[in-house]
């Protein structure tokens, strides 16, 4: 690839966007096995420190990065001479250089699950692939991973994430964005991949279907759609549909025949308490009571060394669970 072609690929990266557990990882694997595409993993983490601030305190940001699991995983370096925006851009460029030293790829893909506006601000010519999935399947997965405590919290979070994309995509040139559904992908994988390749200006290559031969992920399985019907309890299903039923229908997913949860004046407070209790119990099961306790303590007390040690222990547990 020429210098100008490499610059073009970096200035117009492909952001694979959607909620966590919506199929972004498997789609990234599929695309990453195209001979002209390099897939770089997740890239929302640079903005997680203070997402409401475009340019956070750099000293605090650099300290935070050193215990960030994704920063450590990618092995990128901090250039102290760079301001915030240039530093974030340097992280993506370093990831590209490490995964594709010769810069032979025509396109680079990275997953972004949030902070779409920040990504678009730094890469205004970026292309976006949005993948949607039935929020009830997402909810079941979030509960299993102890990311939320109940279906109500999951419903509010999923709905907010969908609305974040709806707001951000209005600022993306229609020629630079495409949308698909997880369910369509796993039932019609080749036609959907052909459609994506056409969007990217690349020829379809069936090498994309062989990602499972060199990863821990299984081949495409159509049975992954609708798993909420057996994997989501009745209570959490009711709570999710009560919180996000309108968004489900807007996305083309019919509601179940389960009665909606009836909201009372005290319901929001109780559901927040219930979410916190169930979420913390699952985190105790996941990390152990000692790490759970010190995680809470060090989040509230400014003991930086202790906070760092706890976070690194949590990172080690999370890394051991990554598929």
User: Would you state the pLDDT for residue 3?
Assistant: 47
CB-CB neighbours of 233 under 10 Å: 13
Question: Domain for residue 73, yes or no?
Answer: yes
Number of domains in the chain: 1
CB-based contact 218:212 (threshold 8 Å): yes
Query: If you ran DSSP here, which 8-state letter would residue 132 be given?
Result: E
CATH code of residue 7: 3.40.50.300
Low-confidence ranges of the chain (pLDDT < 70): 1-7, 53, 302, 322-323
Q: 262 φ, ψ to 5°?
A: -85, 120
Question: What's the length of the chain?
Answer: 323
Question: Domain for residue 128, yes or no?
Answer: yes
Rounded Cα–Cα distance for residues 40 and 74 (Å): 9
Question: Domain for residue 152, yes or no?
Answer: no
User: Would you state the pLDDT for residue 40?
Assistant: 92
Question: Domain for residue 87, yes or no?
Answer: yes
For residue 165, the enclosing domain spans: 3-135+157-226
User: Would you state the pLDDT for residue 1?
Assistant: 54
Tokens 């025509």 locate to 106
pLDDT, one tens digit per residue, over 221-248 is 888 899 999 999 999 999 999 999 999 9
Rounded Cα–Cα distance for residues 137 and 319 (Å): 23
User: Would you state the pLDDT for residue 33?
Assistant: 92
Question: Domain for residue 287, yes or no?
Answer: no
User: 3-state class of 215 per DSSP?
Assistant: coil
Question: Domain for residue 299, yes or no?
Answer: no
Half-sphere exposure of 17 (CA within 13 A, CB side): 29
Question: Domain for residue 10, yes or no?
Answer: yes
Phi-psi sector, 319: left (phi>0), alpha (psi -120 to 50), beta: alpha
Question: Domain for residue 312, yes or no?
Answer: no
Q: Give the tokens for residue 247.
A: 């968004």
User: pTM of the predicted model, to two decimals?
Assistant: 0.91
pLDDT, one tens digit per residue, over 126-158 is 999 999 999 999 999 999 998 999 999 999 999
261-274: b (≥16 Cβ within 10 Å) or e: beeeeeeeeebeeb
Rounded Cα–Cα distance for residues 4 and 30 (Å): 27
Strand order in the sheet with 37-42: 37-42, 107-112, 14-17, 127-132, 177-181
């Amino acid at each position: 690839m020429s210098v100008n072609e490499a610059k073009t690929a970096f200035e117009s990266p492909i952001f694979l966007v959607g909620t966590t557990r919506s199929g972004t990882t498997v789609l990234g694997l599929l695309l990453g096995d195209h001979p002209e595409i390099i897939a770089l993993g997740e890239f929302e983490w640079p903005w997680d420190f203070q997402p409401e601030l475009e340019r956070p305190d750099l000293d605090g940001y650099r300290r935070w990065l050193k215990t960030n699991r994704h920063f450590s995983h990618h092995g990128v370096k901090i250039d102290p001479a760079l301001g915030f925006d240039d530093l974030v851009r340097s992280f993506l460029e370093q990831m590209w250089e490490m995964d594709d030293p010769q810069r032979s790829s025509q396109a680079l893909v990275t997953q972004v699950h949030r902070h779409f506006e920040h990504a678009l601000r730094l890469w205004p010519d970026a292309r976006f692939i949005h993948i949607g999935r039935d929020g009830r399947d997402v909810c079941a997965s979030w509960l299993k991973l102890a990311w939320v405590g109940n279906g109500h919290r999951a419903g509010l979070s999923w709905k907010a994430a969908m609305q974040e994309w709806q707001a951000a995509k209005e600022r993306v040139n229609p020629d630079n964005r495409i949308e698909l559904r997880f369910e369509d992908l796993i039932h019609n994988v080749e036609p959907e991949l052909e459609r994506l390749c056409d969007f990217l200006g690349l020829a379809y290559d069936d090498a994309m279907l062989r990602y499972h031969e060199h990863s821990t992920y299984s081949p495409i399985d159509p049975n992954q759609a609708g798993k909420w019907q057996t994997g989501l309890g009745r209570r959490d299903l009711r709570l999710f549909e009560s919180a996000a039923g309108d968004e489900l229908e807007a996305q083309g997913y019919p509601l179940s025949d389960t009665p909606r949860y009836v909201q009372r004046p005290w319901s929001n407070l109780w559901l927040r308490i219930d979410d916190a209790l169930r979420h913390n119990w699952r985190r105790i099961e996941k990390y152990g009571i000692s790490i759970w306790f010190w995680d809470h303590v060090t989040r509230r007390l400014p003991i930086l060394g202790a906070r760092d040690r706890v976070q690194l222990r949590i990172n080690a547990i999370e890394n051991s669970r990554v598929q």
